[in-house]
Structure 1
């Protein structure tokens, strides 16, 4: 395929006929073009974030677009020539101008904050807030035995018994004969 990422293209057929955009991604015989063939994905709310509607570009067939001539800004076919160094160069058939692919910058949308590593968290300034609240056990939040936890001792009146309980049945009392 002679269309590359970063090319400016015009949609020549389909529901988005007449729209122009830059090629974001090239697939086998399909293209993803910016602001063309927009779809909506509904994302359910989670504990980490609210529900939302994400709009994204779906791919379209490569035969439904034509590249725009860099000189005249009109749709053109693409030809290939070799330059003096032996490299293949794409040219516009209408004007003969060389076609150079532009650079694609990814869209900046609502994204999750990147997770910090331990080293980055330690180097962070002390005035900076932490991403989330520190999780505490429920009994600490209820202030159940809070003083004892802070002091590091057991609550008074509570003795831990680590002894083994007495067996209720003694093995000698078992009868092993049938029918008795």
Structure 2
């Protein structure tokens, strides 16, 4: 069970985007894509066969999963624990003890 999943609200803990918040767009092994964070410019060639125009495009680059933390109800970063309740694994925030929706 992953501690951070697609759709979770996270805050960046380190790096050039420290303190920024965003929604997880996807999880790739040990990296995450966060909306509006770690955006780089990519130069794209035009492709008339596909109907795409060329130019400079913003692209979201992955961050290591250890550099982000979930945001609790108070707006602070929180670590995640996995506990077994009623025979099912659930994610629990360490700061508030709140369980996260599946």
What is the total number of aligned residue pairs between the two structures?
99
Matched, 1:77 2:79: yes
Q: Which has the greater radius of gyration?
A: 1
Q: Which residue of 2 aligns with 1:43?
A: 44
Q: Which residue of 2 aligns with 1:20?
A: 21
Name structure 2 gaps, 5 residues minimum.
none
Q: Does the residue aligned with 1:45 lie in a helix, a strand or coil?
A: coil
Once the two structures are superposed, the pairs formed by residues 1-180 of structure 1 within 5 Å of their partners are: 1-47=2-48, 48-69=51-72, 71-84=73-86, 86-100=87-101
Seen in structure 2, the aligned counterparts of structure 1 residues 30 and 46 have a Cα distance that, compared at 3 Å, is closer
> Structure 1: how far apart are the matches of 2:52 and 2:99?
47
Unaligned runs of 5+ in 1: 102-180
Scaled by the length of structure 1, the TM-score of the pair is 0.51
Q: RCO higher in 1 or 2 (8 Å CA, sep ≥ 6)?
A: 2
RMSD (CA atoms): 1.5
The alpha-carbon deviation at position 79 of structure 1 amounts to: 1.2
Q: What whole-Å deviation, never above 9, does each CA across 1:19-71 have from its counterpart, x for those lacking one? A: 001111111111111111101111123433432221111001111111111x2
